[in-house]
Amino acid sequence: MNLPAALKKISDTIWELPVSYKEGMLVPARIFATEKLIQEMDAGVFEQVSNVATLPGIQRYAYCMPDGHWGYGFPIGGVAAMDPGTGVISPGGIGFDINCGMRLVLTNLTADQVKPRLHQLVDRLFARIPTGVGCHGFVKLSQSEFGSVIEQGSRWCLSHGFATQDDLDMTEEGGCFPGADPSSISDKAIERGYNQLGTLGSGNHYCEIQVVQPENIWDAERAAAFGLNIPNQVVIMFHCGSRGFGHQVATDYLKVFLSVMERKYGIKLVDRELACAPFHSPEGQAYFSAMKCAVNMAFANRQVILHRIREVFSEVFNSSPDDLGMRMVYDVAHNTAKLEKHAADGGKKELLIHRKGSTRAFGPGAQGLPECYSKSGQPVIIGGSMETGSYLLAGMQSGADAFFTTAHGSGRTMSRHQAKKSFRGDKLQRDMEARGIYVRTDSFGGLAEEAGDAYKNIDEVVEATELAGLSKRVARLIPIGNIKG
Amino acid sequence: MPFEYRGDIAHADIAFNAWSGTLEELFKEAAQASMKVMADDLTAIRPTVTVEIKLDQSNEEMLLFDFLNELIFYKDAKRLLLLPAQITITRGGGGCSLQATLQGEEIDASRHKLSTDVKAVTMLRFSVAQVQEGWRATVVLDV
């Protein structure tokens, strides 16, 4: 594509749009990418990341990660830190799927042990984890019980037999954002979401069985620290979020912010999808609380799905989850806003970090990491396309400039509409099986949209994060089985 | 064609333009375009359940936003795939109101040729405008 003329190359992996690029920019916008990836960025990235730079209270830079692509409001891959005292909170910087995230689970099984039972495993996962349009979950709750789930997140799962303490320890923020007040939630959001606990959803949400081949270990020491210590070890990765509940929370507050942003707070923006309110306003605080409820719903959703995955593996291999070594590596959120302390003005300052399609990546020694990862840095789970594989990375000290944030996936290069015209889901399923990847789906149309060729090259994306010092490659994970909505 | 998907203004999301001679027909086309993202064959949706809705908004744009969100809400809350059978839009009192009869049925994966779940209607490039031929809308759905 034609890059904006104002785009400056700062280093081999940093590109900058200066504040003169667009009227109203308060800080420059920076995109992390190699020369090849910047050439592949769609025009929406430049438009949207520079829009983000106009948000009141933004600090340092508006960032976009190497997997960045056209989103709504923020680009996907967007990161923005706001001064909580003077800045805003924007649902468009978090996304409708609040706390969409990734979870990686170990087994002590090898590919040779799993492959003879792969079809049975995938078929049973597909039968037992609801996927697809409008699916209802396997955890049946009353609306009032759901209120406890959104307050407590994974802690509710622990007290109801769906989690171990170790699971919570291996989840960002222990699987619960404190301060989630259900009174900030509409009846509609409750009604839309209370029956979806234990559902995967559709689109790019999936549960995948993967193999860690010895030749794909990039950093043996960190791989061992993350529990990858058996040649051709089988792991399970899954990707989902807060489902209809989170989508409704975001929709509700988008409307609230649209109604008060200009009239009450005098904020004028170039894109209504960036609708926002001052963080400390009543509307801003209500949304922050509601967002936390949705964050907790997503943590709980991934936790009960993990419980179900353990049941399925346990049934198929006739062993307990403990005997199968089914321990979590980590759970990372990639659509959130959080108050975090970062270096600023010669000291540490509390900032409201918006991450939309980008992952927190704390380096070694960071506060808030489980002790077992204090030397290695935070595990970062990068979901690639179902055809090409995924990555496990580690956060680095050198990621401080970008508020310890890295990519979240491959990033699309082709629209869903184009992918559906270019690929046939049923043929893709047969081709993938011939290549050793067994896929079950509710929707061949949805499968076609997720074809590997609709995405950027994940190897290039993670290499860019490493070259930029945002995160370090630990292992590449190869898919052998997948369920999709 | 009364609606057309656009791959050129959204990659991870689904964008479409819809147009029609009347505002009511425009809303029907936008509903069809949104529901077709989730269930590819709209003719397979039998009108066995009827839901009446009434919405009030300050303008036509926000009315369409709320209307499409109602369809998405029923898909999740009640597992209903609904299409508008009848729509009436009235203006007055500084705003506009919609009354609609929605018809459809519970999701049946074996018959509905399900595709991609719609999460939300975004405000990205969202517009409802009166044009020479009638009305035109641009919508980007988060999926």
The one-letter amino acid at A222: R
Q: A444 lies in a domain?
A: no
Preferred mutation among A251, A297, A385 to probe B, highest tally of B CBs within 10 A? A251
Chain A CB contacts of B72 under 8 Å are 244, 247
Predicted pLDDT at A412: 81
Confidence grade of residue A363 (pLDDT, cut at 50, 70, 90): very high
Q: Is A130 on the interface with B (CB under 8 A)?
A: no
Give the SS3 label for residue A470: coil
Measured in whole angstroms, how far is the alpha carbon of residue A158 from the centre of its chain? 23
User: Nearest by CB to B10, which of A70, A247, A271?
Assistant: A70
CB neighbours of A268 closer than 8 A, spacing ≥ 6? A262
CB contact under 8 A, B142 and A446: no
How many domains in chain A?
1
Q: A170 lies in a domain?
A: yes
Q: A93 lies in a domain?
A: no
State residue A201 phi and psi, 5-degree precision. 90, -160
Going by the DSSP 8-state scheme, the letter that residue A397 receives in this structure is G
Task: Tell me: pLDDT of B1 over 70.
Answer: no
Q: A231 lies in a domain?
A: yes
Looking at every residue in chain A, the average pLDDT score rounds to 96
CB contact under 8 A, A412 and B12: yes
Which tens digits make up the pLDDT trace of A282-327? Answer: 999 999 999 999 999 999 999 999 999 999 999 999 999 999 999 9
For B44-143, where are the alpha helices, taking DSSP H only? 60-77
Span of A93-97, A191-195, A276-280, B2-6 with lowest mean pLDDT: B2-6
Query: Could you give the CA distance from residue B135 to residue B23 in angstroms, rounded to a whole number?
Result: 6
CB neighbours of A91 closer than 8 A, spacing ≥ 6? A73, A250, A253, A254, A257, A275, A276, A287, A291
Query: Could you give the CA distance from residue A287 to residue A299 in angstroms, rounded to a whole number?
Result: 18
Task: Tell me: pLDDT of A1 over 80.
Answer: no
Q: A420 lies in a domain?
A: no
Query: Could you give the CA distance from residue B66 to residue A291 in angstroms, rounded to a whole number?
Result: 21
User: Nearest by CB to B13, which of A72, A244, A254?
Assistant: A72
Reported as half-sphere exposure (CB side, CA atoms, 13 A), residue B86 has a value of 5
Q: What is the mean pLDDT of residues A375-385?
A: 96
CB neighbours of A420 closer than 8 A, spacing ≥ 6? A445, A448, A449
Predicted pLDDT at A414: 86
Q: Could you give the angle at the alpha carbon of A76 between the alpha carbons of A72 and A80, nearest 5°?
A: 95
Q: A199 lies in a domain?
A: yes
Q: A445 lies in a domain?
A: no
Predicted pLDDT at A344: 85
Task: Tell me: pLDDT of A66 over 80.
Answer: yes
Query: If you measure CA to CA, which chain B residue comes closest to A243?
Result: B119
Query: Domain span at residue A139?
Result: 8-83+99-413+455-484
Confidence grade of residue B78 (pLDDT, cut at 50, 70, 90): very high
Which tens digits make up the pLDDT trace of A386-428? Answer: 889 999 999 999 999 999 999 999 888 888 888 888 999 999 9
Chain B CB contacts of A413 under 8 Å are 11
Which tens digits make up the pLDDT trace of A90-110? Answer: 999 999 999 999 999 999 999
Q: Could you give the angle at the alpha carbon of B14 between the alpha carbons of A90 and B135, nearest 5°?
A: 95
In angstroms, the Cα distances linking A189 to A202, A243, A248, A457 are 19, 10, 5, 37
Query: Could you give the CA distance from residue B136 to residue B142 in angstroms, rounded to a whole number?
Result: 20
Chain A CB contacts of B10 under 8 Å are 44, 70, 72, 415
Confidence grade of residue A83 (pLDDT, cut at 50, 70, 90): very high
CB contact under 8 A, B142 and A273: no
Query: Could you give the CA distance from residue A298 to residue B119 in angstroms, rounded to a whole number?
Result: 14
In chain B, pLDDT over 70 holds for what percent of residues?
99
| Residue whose entry in the numeric block shows the structure tokens 């979590």 | A328
On whether the CB atoms of residues A313 and A129 are closer than 8 A, the answer is: no
Domain CATH number, residue A317: 3.90.1860.10
Q: A91 lies in a domain?
A: no
Task: Tell me: pLDDT of A361 over 70.
Answer: yes
On whether the CB atoms of residues B66 and B95 are closer than 8 A, the answer is: no
Which domains occur in chain B, in start order? 3-133 (3.55.10.10)
CB neighbours of A430 closer than 8 A, spacing ≥ 6? none
Query: Could you give the CA distance from residue A326 to residue A313 in angstroms, rounded to a whole number?
Result: 9
Q: Which letter, b or e, does each residue of A210-237 get, where b requires 16 or more Cβ atoms within 10 Å of its Cβ?
A: bbbeeebbbbeebbebbbbeeebbbbbb
Predicted pLDDT at A53: 98
Q: Is A94 on the interface with B (CB under 8 A)?
A: no
Catalytic amino acids of A? 408
Which tens digits make up the pLDDT trace of A430-476? Answer: 999 999 999 999 888 888 988 988 888 999 999 999 999 999 999 99
Preferred mutation among A416, A440, A444, A450 to probe B, highest tally of B CBs within 10 A? A416
